[in-house]
Chain A
Amino acid sequence: MEFLPERHYAHAPITEAVIDFGVQLSADPTAENLGEIRDESYAQRDPVFMGHVQFGSGTTSATQQALGWRFRSADGPYIYQVRTDGFALSRLTPYENWDNFSSEARRIWDKYRAVAKPITVQRIALRYINRIDIPLPLNDFGEYLQCSPSVSPHLPQGLSNYLMSLTIPLDELVTVVVNEAILNQVTKPNAVSILLDIGVSQSLSLPFEEEALWERFGYLRKVKNHVFEACITDKTRELFQ
């Protein structure tokens, strides 16, 4: 597949970027142990739980399971999660660039590896959540989005809401998930906000060398950029200049 040219935008619409590892740990590290994976730049610590809600006839019950911890940087834009099933680093807006983001992920990932000692890395993924504010009136979603819903000509051609989820196997290893929706929140006057949530993931079946793992992340980033460019139009690009 030939990738579309990468572009740099002065006002990229990224609200959150995530580098994610799915791992298998040995039985030793507990969610509590993972709390030791500290970094002085990340002052705020919160537990991460999995919640289960059980329904019966007329009764409900809820339980929780500790998964790990979430740490937030003092100045806010970085958050890392150390879980019994993986590691993730999020970069919130304003997004800077891949080099800074991946370097920080690698720095914290090394700490995770040292304490959690994962047996295998089973999955790696990138997820970029974009919010695109399109000025109103919006008379054709297609002017801004190359992936947008079509409506039967026998129906009115106006939408107040939509949610589209596309799962696209790119090849035998890589899967792309594109979630697109209207965000029913007023974030900017005289505009409608569109969520463009792009996930690119790869399952790993064999042990990976550390360097190869990061090279693979570099490839997933190229795929992510291609998907983003493939989903928007020149008119949308103008919004980010």
Chain B
Amino acid sequence: MSKTNAVKYAPRAQEPQRTAYPSYLVPVPSAPAEGVGEEALTVTRQLEELSARINQTETLTRALLARLEEDEALAPYNHVQGRQIGMIKVRYKNLGRLPPREVSYDDE
């Protein structure tokens, strides 16, 4: 077996800039669907469908985030962070005790 290169940890110097949303649907790696917190994955599925259809990004993202933050129905997701659609992230913490799990379309 050939030896692979050593891959090191290289902390980034600055926050990455936003990238334009591509015109095709970026595949989403399936997130683990068992255990605590699985309820939030439903949100992800809806976001997947959304990303395929929307190109007017910022306005809807802001509306979505405002709605998420206002809606008591989503109270379990006590931390919601959004970015440009195509790079939307829904981050949630249940009881603040789990490592935050993050699902996204397209990382920075």
Q: Which residues of A contact B1 (CB under 8 A)?
A: none
A12 proximal to B (CB < 8 A): no
CB pair B12–A140 under 8 Å, yes or no, is no
Task: Please give the distance in Å from A97's CB to the nearest CB on chain B.
Answer: 20
Q: Which residues of B contact A137 (CB under 8 A)?
A: 8-9
CB pair A16–B97 under 8 Å, yes or no, is yes
| Listed residue (B36, B46, B74) with the most chain A CB atoms within 10 angstroms of its CB | B36
A161 proximal to B (CB < 8 A): yes
Q: List CB contacts (< 8 Å) of A45-94 with chain B.
A: 46, 48-55, 58, 60, 62-64, 67, 70, 72, 79, 81, 88, 90, 92
Q: Which residues of B contact A62 (CB under 8 A)?
A: 67-68, 71, 73-74
A236 proximal to B (CB < 8 A): no
Number of residues from B at the complex interface, CB < 8 A: 43
A139 proximal to B (CB < 8 A): yes
A129 proximal to B (CB < 8 A): yes
CB pair B63–A51 under 8 Å, yes or no, is no
Stretch at the interface among A102-110, A141-149, A217-225: A141-149
In the complex with contacts A55-B49, A92-B97, A165-B36 CB distance below 8 A: no
CB pair B7–A55 under 8 Å, yes or no, is no
CB pair B7–A151 under 8 Å, yes or no, is yes
* Nearest-CB residue, chain A, relative to B34: A125
Q: List CB contacts (< 8 Å) of A169-203 with chain B.
A: 177, 179, 182-183, 185, 192, 195, 197, 199, 201
CB pair A182–B46 under 8 Å, yes or no, is no
- Chain A, interface size category, equals 35 or more
Task: Please give the distance in Å from B69's CB to the nearest CB on chain A.
Answer: 11
Interface of A is mostly: strand
Q: List CB contacts (< 8 Å) of A16-42 with chain B.
A: 16, 18, 20
Complex Cα gap A197–B35 (Å): 11
CB pair B42–A160 under 8 Å, yes or no, is no
Task: Please give the distance in Å from B54's CB to the nearest CB on chain A.
Answer: 8
Q: List CB contacts (< 8 Å) of A130-167 with chain B.
A: 131, 134, 136-142, 148-151, 153, 156-161, 163, 165
Q: Which residues of B contact A64 (CB under 8 A)?
A: 73-74
In the complex with contacts A16-B98, A160-B10, A127-B35 CB distance below 8 A: yes
Name 18 interchain pairs, CB-CB below 8 A, sorted by A: A18-B36, A49-B73, A49-B75, A53-B47, A60-B63, A62-B67, A79-B95, A79-B97, A125-B34, A125-B35, A129-B99, A131-B99, A157-B6, A158-B8, A165-B32, A192-B11, A197-B99, A199-B34
9 closest pairs, A vs B, by CB?
A158-B10, A140-B6, A64-B73, A138-B9, A160-B12, A127-B35, A55-B50, A62-B71, A139-B8
